Structure 1
Amino acid sequence: MLKWHKLGIKNKVFIIFIIIQLAIIALSFYYFSENHRHFYLEQEEISLKNYSNLILNDLEKFDLKNQINLDDKVTDWAADTESRITIINAAGIVLADSSHQASEMDNHRNRPEVAAVLGDSASKMAIRHSNTIGEKMLYLARPILRNGQIVGVVRIARSLSFIQSVLIKDIKNYLFFFVILGAITIFLSWQLTNSIIKPLETMTNTAEKISQGHLSQRIPARKYNSDIAKLSKMFNYMAAELEDKINEISQEKNRIETILESMVDGVIAVDKERRVSLINPAAQKIFNISEKKVKGRELISSLFSHRIDMYLQRALDEKKSISREINYQNPDNKIIQATFIPLLSKKKKINGGVIVLTDITELRKLETVRNDFVANVSHELRTPLTSIIGYLDTLLESEIKDNQTRNKFLKIIKEEADRLSILISDLLNLSKIESESIDLKAENFSDVILKVINLLEKNAEQKEINLEVKMPDQLPFVYMVKEQIEQVLVNLIDNAIKYTPARGKVEIVVNKTGDKVYFAITDTGIGIPATDQDRIFERFYRVDKARSRSLGGTGIGLSIVRNIIKQHGSEVKVKSNEGQGSTFSFYLKVARS
């Protein structure tokens, strides 16, 4: 069975209308039925009174003791009036009755209507069941007076079965009428309910669709009457305003999300309970976490950083921004510049907080590299300058007359000046390579290799080093900047010759694999310790500083090699075993024919 609170408003209104209409019909039916019943009874009473008057007039001249004549007269009166006539004396004895033998009838003194007349001499009406006839009857009893004294009672009665039959017939007619009226009422109630509720249901359905995101839904106001149409227009106006506002908010939200997602800095927003409500991709990258794992959780349980939680709590307590530099390990060590900002309401109550995070790990590394570079450059410049200044001071302040000693000092000054010039040239060259973009062109790699070998061949011969080249006769052109690759080859081949002992071997292997040409140079030199192999491409880094300086190295050559090859879309690889030699290799892409 349906419960009332689960019914829709349409059904509720319809049921209420039906109950009210049925109640009105039932009351109307009852009213008309009772009204007709009273009407018929009143008509019968009037009729009985009139007949009783006629009978009383006849009885004034009649002797009540004449039984035979009285019986005949009662029979005649009954036939004329279509009623039952009973004559009763003052003692309650029935003298005559139109329906039964008077001698067989009980004393009627205790009959209500008779007793009432004998008691106060007034006419009395009564409706009761007749024990003699066995029917419900309408009785009228009137006194028979002789000289102002009651000598008897005339009672006239009619059966109510006729009235009942008429009433039943009327009731059937009324019932048919009211059934038709009820059907019409139900139909009209349904139509009225529809006319009122249908627009409300349309509004409800439209509101539900709008709540589901269909903001363009509207109500066709022209279908309804003026009041509903006005309500529909206001609803449509509200829906249009809501759509505009939501679109505006959505655009603003999308704009903010786009800004947050594109920000280099990380952003974390928390509520007043310090639960994470927002974390942008940059922050996820910094802490190596995903949004799903941290959103809705407390900050400290999400980041596992007591310091971050502590500084956020301090910012919320002090209601002001705080900036701190924090070391964070997960799994790599990161240096983060964090700014903790409390979110305050107009009443200065805490609504939450925002943490802005900047990963300055690379910046700190660059600062370290810069400081190391400045220190190394200062050292590398100061060493030759110290020698130059020292020998110049000696020449200027001492009177050296020995030409051999003087020439020796001047030669040292010249060597240090040349070394200084090479260092400055390498620094400028490295800076140029790092700052400028290159335009790769198809060039003959074989010609560059042979040119560099011809240039450095004498150096190998002086140390009796076997310089061996294994290269195909027909090598395809490759994309490169000819001058830069030439510089790379000079550095790699010259280093191999320098760090290979006399009567050693340097082997150059060039081959094509796929769309790449691979270059590899292997020496039988001193090799590079495993701990130093990751750092040999750093500026000014030397495995053996004294040996490198004695061989004329600046510590920048391999850094130049790495940057040039990187700009060519490749990388330099090194394989080396200490005391057994080293192999440096890279590749260049084959040019399309």
Structure 2
Amino acid sequence: MRKQLIRKNLMLVIGTFLVFFLVALITIYFYWQEQSKTLVSYVLSEVEVEYEQFDGSLEDFILNFDTDTGRRITILDENGIVLIDSDDPRTGQDKSQRPEIKNLGSVATRTSETVGVELLYMATELDDGNILRVAIPLQAQAKLYSTILWIYIGITILLIGVYYAGLIRINQNLLAPWEKVKVGLQNLASGNYQMMALTSPYPEINELLNEMNQINLETDQHLRSIETYQIQLKEILNELKQAVMLFDEKEMLVYFNTDAASYFSLSDDAYDKPSYYMIRDIDLKQAIHDVNEDHQNRVFDFKHEGKLLEVKVFHVNAEGRNRSHATVLVLIKDVTHDRAIEQIKKDFFSHASHELKSPLTAIRGYAELIEHGLIKENEYQKIAHDIVLQSETMTALVEDMLMLSRLENLKESNETKVMLNQVLETVIHQLKPIIDSKNMKLSVKAQPIEALCDPVDMQKLFKNLIENAIKYSDAEKKIEINLSRTNDKVHFSVKDQGIGIAEEHQQRVFERFYRVDKGRLDGGTGLGLAIVKHISLKYHGSIDLKSSLSRGTTITVKLDL
């Protein structure tokens, strides 16, 4: 910009000086013509006066006249015949056709054939009828004219140089601040804002620079706010635990988060690509197209790489916005686990209602029999005992359900330092009547272990595993119990010689209300092993089950205590 401005201004001033120079040249030329005429006229008048006052012959007049100045004097008769010439001894030549002779009093310019130089001629008629012609060299006048011309050229060049230097200086003062503005805007665009120094000699420009600094500062603050907002928004979208994709009105991808990149193997090359470029599912592609066309939101499920995904496709209202903005929002969430939990809850409530229904039905049946007087007097004690047993079954079921609910919700428990071997001894003591009734052998190896935990959890874990071993073992069988600590983990195992568990059931025995033998009534709630599993998860543990039919079962629980 600076070079263009200087070039334009310089061309303007040179053009102006050229026009001025041409006008001056023409003026000088005409001035020179006039001066030459005046000079030759003056010389002619001087010679004429001397001629009129001279009394001698023409030869004496020529000889006595000073011709060292380069003046040439010629005297002709009235017919233009040369009588005498100061530079040519010949006489009698006819000069009547020369311009200065034909037009007396006018100036003629030509190269003399006699002396070989360019001369200015002028002639006049004398009192005696003769003609006096005077010629002076043009060289002297031309030299004067040339000198004046070169002086003018020098002055012109000097003025142009001074103007050019001043123009550069002025342009520097005017344009240097704008260079700073340019650099400042470039820095702002690259995110490296810097204040511009106010160094212009012009207060108006400094004031403008100050305004630009303020505008740039506010713009930088806004850009940083937008950048911060974009970073925060991107982090939020990446933490949503669901895929987010945005498409424009042409169904070109304009945004995706990390989950979407994971689902569809997207990279930065996917931007501005159509939906079919990265999505293979026909239903999802069709949903994006339909929402873009009819603006009706859609929600549906589809399977992708073994996962169940819930898809929500929304139309984004872009009225009044640039058409390049997103118009379709796609949210994709992995609901595989959620749907499994929902199904488990449905099964849980279904099984729970079924398990509660059985003792309630029995109690109600006994109550109706008593109400209608259909019970014999000697049967009351047996019926009362059955009612107590059914109520105990309901109580145990409700307690296990509450226990399982507490473990699933991870509510705070009463953790304290507990001697696990003592808890185990208490549980075995509680179960001793059942063990003795089946004449079973019990082998217990328990190390004294202190752990920070909820004693209720440990009591329930020990009791449920030992009870299962007792229930599914025949009389006079052996049960081995081991409690130890290895590498900061507590190991608790129960080994029986019972009926065992078929391989196809081993992965499901820890589910709620799952029974290997649907027809077997063992008096349990069906939640024992499910509670064991949740206690293990609570303490970051693991469960290992080894079993074979008719050869017994070994369950080992490892807890991070």
TM-score range, shorter chain: 0.7 to 0.9
Give, in whole Å, the separation in 1 of the partners of 2:122 and 2:225.
91
Residue matched to 1:73: 61
Correspondence for 1:557: 528
Classify 1:107/1:469 alpha carbon distance in 2 versus 1 (closer, same or farther; 3 Å): farther
For 1:421 and 1:566, the matched residues in 2 are separated by: 25
TM-score (norm 1): 0.81
How far 1:39 sits from its partner (Å)?
4.2
CA distance in 2, matches of 1:258, 1:398: 73
Task: Output the amino acid matched with 2:535.
Answer: I
The reply on whether 1:422 has 2:396 as its aligned counterpart is yes
In structure 1, distance between residues paired with 2:74 and 2:380: 183
Aligned length: 559
C-alpha distance 294-42 of structure 1, shift in aligned 2 (>3 A): closer
Judge conservation of contact 1:385–1:416 (CA < 8 Å) in 2: yes
Match of 2:426 among 439, 442, 451: 451
Per the alignment, residue 309 of structure 1 pairs with 285
SS in 2 for 1:343: coil
Structure 2: runs of 5+ lacking an equivalent: none
Residues of 2 paired with 1:291 and 1:390: CA distance? 68
Deviation at 1:470, TM superposition (A): 3.7
Give runs of aligned pairs for residues 204-283 of structure 1, distance below 5 A: 204-215=182-193, 217-218=195-196, 220=198, 223-243=200-220, 245-247=222-224, 249-250=226-227, 253=230, 256-257=233-234, 259-263=236-240, 267-281=244-258
Deviation of 1:216 (Å):
5.3
Whether the aligned pair in 2 keeps the contact of 1:343 and 1:354 (CA below 8 Å) is no
| Equivalent residue for 2:10, pick from 18, 22, 27 | 18
Match of 2:510 among 514, 522, 537: 537
1:526-581 Cα deviation digits (max 9, x unpaired)? 3333332332222111122223x2x2221101111122222223233323344443
Superposition map of 1:87-126 within 5 A: 87-89=75-77, 93-102=81-90, 107-111=94-98, 113-114=99-100, 117-118=101-102, 121-126=103-108
Q: How do residues 1-400 of structure 1 correspond to structure 2 at under 5 angstroms?
A: 9-26=1-18, 35-36=27-28, 38-56=30-48, 69-77=57-65, 79=67, 82-89=70-77, 93-102=81-90, 107-111=94-98, 113-114=99-100, 117-118=101-102, 121-143=103-125, 153-215=131-193, 217-218=195-196, 220=198, 223-243=200-220, 245-247=222-224, 249-250=226-227, 253=230, 256-257=233-234, 259-263=236-240, 267-281=244-258, 287=263, 289-290=265-266, 292=268, 294-319=270-295, 321-324=296-299, 326-336=300-310, 338-346=312-320, 352-357=327-332, 360-394=335-369, 397=372
Q: Deviations over 1:124-160 (max 9, x none)?
A: 212222232222222223356767xxxx643311112
Alpha-carbon distance between aligned partners in 1 of 2:50 and 2:189, rounded to the nearest angstrom: 93
Secondary structure of the corresponding residue to residue 183 of structure 1: helix
The structure-2 alpha-carbon separation of the partners of 1:424 and 1:30, relative to structure 1 and needing over 3 Å to count, comes to closer
Partner deviation per Cα, 1:455-488 (whole Å, 9 max, x = no partner)? 445544554544333445xx44222222320221
Decide whether the 8 Å contact of 2:400 with 2:527 is kept in 1: yes
Query: What's the offset of the Cα at 1:376?
Result: 0.7
- Distance in 1 between residues matched to 2:111 and 2:551, nearest whole Å: 142
Indicate conservation of the 8 Å contact 1:448/1:486, yes or no: yes
Give 3-state SS (helix, strand or coil) of 2:542's partner: coil
Which residue type is aligned with residue 89 of structure 2?
A: Q
Rounded to whole Å, the distance in 2 between the matches of 1:280 and 1:348 is: 23
| Partner Cα separation in structure 1 for residue 490 and residue 175 of structure 2 | 83
2:104, 2:122 within 8 Å by CA — same for their partners in 1?
Answer: no
Give the deviation of 1:273 after TM superposition: 0.9
1:567-578 equivalence runs, <5 A: 567-578=538-549
Match of 1:5 in 2: none
* Structure 2 Cα separation of the partners of residues 399 and 234 of structure 1: 104
Question: What TM-score do the two structures reach when normalised by structure 2?
Answer: 0.85
Residues in 1 aligned to 2:53 and 2:458: alpha-carbon distance in whole angstroms: 165
Letter in 2 for 1:379: H
Q: Verify: 1:489 aligned to 2:462, yes or no.
A: yes
- Is contact 2:301–2:308 with CA below 8 Å preserved after alignment? yes
For the 8 Å contact 1:441–1:479, the answer to whether it is kept is yes
Code of the aligned partner of 1:345: E
- Paired with 1:388 and 1:293, the residues of 2 have a C-alpha distance of 70
Moved more, 230-239 or 376-385: 230-239
The 8 Å contact of residues 291 and 315 in structure 2, kept in 1 or not, is answered as: yes
Give the whole-Å Cα distance in 2 for the aligned partners of 1:423 and 1:58: 161
1:71·1:97 contact (CA, 8 Å) conserved in 2? no
Going from structure 1 to structure 2, the CA distance change for 1:578 and 1:128 (only over 3 Å counts) comes to farther
**Alignment-derived partner of residue 516 in structure 1:** 489
What is the aligned partner in structure 1 of residue 558 from structure 2? 587
CA contact (8 A) 2:40 2:135 kept: yes
Instruction: Provide Cα deviations, 1:68-111, integer angstroms capped at 9, x if missing partner.
Output: 943442343452864011234566543322122225x9754554
* Amino acid of the structure 2 residue aligned with 1:574: L
SS in 1 for 2:115: coil
- State the distance in 2 between where 1:31 and 1:22 align: 14
Moved more, 438-447 or 484-493: 438-447
CA contact (8 A) 1:316 1:350 kept: no
Once the two structures are superposed, the pairs formed by residues 460-499 of structure 1 within 5 Å of their partners are 460=435, 462-463=437-438, 465-472=440-447, 475-499=448-472
Task: Compare 383-392 and 418-427 and name the one that shifted more.
Answer: 383-392
User: What SS does the corresponding residue of 1:102 show, helix, strand or coil?
Assistant: coil
Where do 5+ consecutive residues of structure 1 fail to align? 1-8
Q: In the aligned structure 2, how far is the partner of 1:407 from the partner of 1:81?
A: 174
SS at match of 2:490: strand
**Whole-angstrom distance in 1 between the partners of 2:548 and 2:93:** 151
Partner AA of 1:136 in structure 2: E
Does the aligned pair in 1 maintain the 2:184–2:194 contact within 8 Å?
A: no
The farther-off stretch of 310-319 and 201-210 is 310-319
8 Å contact 2:249–2:323 — kept in the other structure?
no
Instruction: Kindly provide the amino acid, as one letter, of the partner of residue 303 in structure 2.
Output: Q
Letter of the structure 1 residue corresponding to residue 249 of structure 2:
K
